[in-house]
Structure 1
């Protein structure tokens, strides 16, 4: 309007055969054809206002979890606002606006909030479990953050989620945050994918230790976590006695020195591949 358009001229341009289209009330896309995913996100935030946050599946995708997808967009707005859901945008008023994460200029709810918001609006237990565990397994949040969010938020639809968090978690998920960071590093490393949390024994059946990550073809173990405790040193010594090449990485390196960790893993894999494989085996 400030540029000189009238309601009529805008309406004419937004006809089905026109060059513009209205995505949401008050929000125009100045081109024809289907909007991109980012254009849909930006339009929703323009419609809902600067305080709005994108949550649910779209927030998880923005944090790197692209296995999930949806046509709907879930937005959080302060409880003092009055705004209706429209078209593909579902608006939820909340008195608990989380601290937003700015990703490429758009505001997203943190992963633990997004996972709970997405899961409590589903009915399929398999999908709910996947949404809850995926950000934990990727190292984006902890089970305590998920549990705290369920306890503090709206109770509607959370009974099943509470039961899922109380389930016995398999060993690979016990220390899920460092493993999530490790998986990110591996996704960028020029070596094959390993097995995770693998018990190793000698040929005689003697326990050597549990490798956080294991490349069976070459006999390479990766030990990540707190490298300053006695347990880490004992594991390293046991693996070395068995002839296993070990790469040791501290948690701080996983988070802040990805390139250095990748280089250490590549060297470790090269060294392990160029020596006889140790006579150890994996146990289920």
Structure 2
């Protein structure tokens, strides 16, 4: 007969287990008169002591969600997730972290054990999210904390751009949290925040805008404006747009636009613009990074050539930031 690891537990404990994804603390067991001897016996045979005084009533490996809940139970009722764990809960494209990072207000202390780290903070997050047993930082705080622990500038920029472009948070909220960080951490996020504020939809687009800004020939462009024909028909949105001459620049990237046949169709849709007289210049992330001067020179030449022809009858509507 199969052994039930939760048999003979009080009904209230069963309710706690259902609410906490199969996790329970020693204090909760004691509160509902589960003898310490029974807890000790089961934790060594049928339960997993996943963190000090936190038990998973199963021997199977904990899921990511269970690890987050266990960390919060261990850290205490005022703690909340931040960093990658919180960013993932907000839907950002972040890999599952090896460690669960949390914050807790004073006077609680910083500590760590196993996969869990809780850090004391003096900066209150008034938009902490509570979803069942999970508590996690606001989207802006989670994005900033996650970006701060990323080792490479490109990864920091990509995350903040995604956070803004998906509507998870906005530039003003990111800037507010950036101002609250320690000086060293804030410094490494200044350029990534500028990329997020540029209106770019991806890191290559942000790099393109940075490159264009170095030109003495090219004017300040629009990023991702809505384009329509004179009679109001919607056109493909260019990544970068020089309105005075009707020049569109498209970053052709498998990763940042789409995949497979969808990517081919995206590239072919450049023809929608050329059919109404728009000059289209294509660039790639590889070209931007390996030959930026050559890429810029080609864009400048294309812009100068476009000045010698009539501007197409299209309307560009700047993207709202």
Question: What TM-score results when the alignment is normalised by the length of structure 1?
Answer: 0.59
Quick check: 2:47–2:57 contact (8 Å CA) kept in 1?
Answer: yes
Q: Report Cα offsets for 1:213-258 as digits up to 9, x if no partner.
A: 8xxxxxxxxx5xxxxxxxxxxx756143xxx357xxxxxxxxxxxx
CA change 1:91–1:212 in 2 (3 A) is same
Residue 117 of structure 2 corresponds to which residue in structure 1?
A: 90
Following superposition, the deviation at residue 89 of structure 1 comes to 0.9
Distance 1:60 1:168, change over 3 A: closer
Deviates more, 1:52-61 or 1:126-135: 126-135
Tell me whether 1:134 sits opposite 2:126 in the alignment: no
Structure 2: give runs of 5+ residues left out of the alignment. 1-29, 203-221, 236-272, 282-321
- Aligned position for 2:62: 35
Contact kept? 1:19, 1:31, Cα under 8 Å: yes
Alignment of 1:16-95 (within 5 A): 18-95=45-122
Indicate conservation of the 8 Å contact 2:156/2:189, yes or no.
yes
User: For 2:189, what is the secondary structure of its paired residue?
Assistant: helix
In the other structure, the counterpart of 1:123 is: 151
Deviation (angstroms), 1:137: 1.8
The offset of 1:42, in angstroms, is 1.1
* 1:240-259 matched pairs, under 5 angstroms: 240=232, 244=233
Mean CA deviation greater in 24-33 or 119-128: 119-128
State the distance in 1 between where 2:104 and 2:194 align.
30
Structure 1: how far apart are the matches of 2:110 and 2:177?
Answer: 24
SS in 2 for 1:76: strand
User: Is 2:43 the counterpart of 1:14?
Assistant: yes
Shift of 1:6: 4.3
Max radius of gyration: which structure? Answer: 2
Residue in 2 that maps onto 1:238: 230
Q: CA deviation at 1:26?
A: 1.4
Instruction: Using the TM superposition, give the Cα deviation of residue 93 of structure 1 relative to its aligned residue in structure 2, in angstroms.
Output: 0.5
Aligned-residue CA RMSD (Å): 3.2
Conservation of the 8 A alpha-carbon contact between 2:161 and 2:195 = no
- Tell me the CA shift for residue 54 of structure 1: 0.8
